[in-house]
Amino acid sequence: MDAKHKVIKVAVEKHYAAIKDANEWLTELRKRCGHPIIEIVGYEWAPGHVDPNVKVCGVCGEKIHDPLQNIHIQDSDQSI
Ligand SMILES: [Zn+2]
């Protein structure tokens, strides 16, 4: 592998690691959220496939599957 492609490979691996870290952090934030605000939106679950009336949290963007999931007690002292 030439020098140019070694640099590209290192950069790609670095960015994949950043994506993995971001996904883990989003998962943690969504666990903490409690989803106090529910919005009805069009949700594109795959390119060209939109469900028109999907409930998502207006704070963290989590797709809400169970309406009872909105009944969590909020802990206002918990900081990020
Ligand atoms: Zn939420």
Give me ligand 1 centre to Cα 12, in Å: 31
* pLDDT mean across residues, the chain: 87
- Predicted confidence at residue 73, as pLDDT, reads 44
| pLDDT over threshold 70, residue 76 | no
**Domain residue limits, the chain:** 1-33, 35-72
pLDDT tens digits for 18-50? 999 999 999 999 999 999 999 999 988 899 999
C-alpha span between 43 and 30 (Å, rounded) = 17
What distance in angstroms lies between residue 22's CA and the mean position of ligand 1's atoms? 16
- pLDDT at position 45 is 84
pLDDT at residue 69, rounded to an integer: 45
Distance between CA 58 and CA 37 in Å, rounded?
Answer: 5
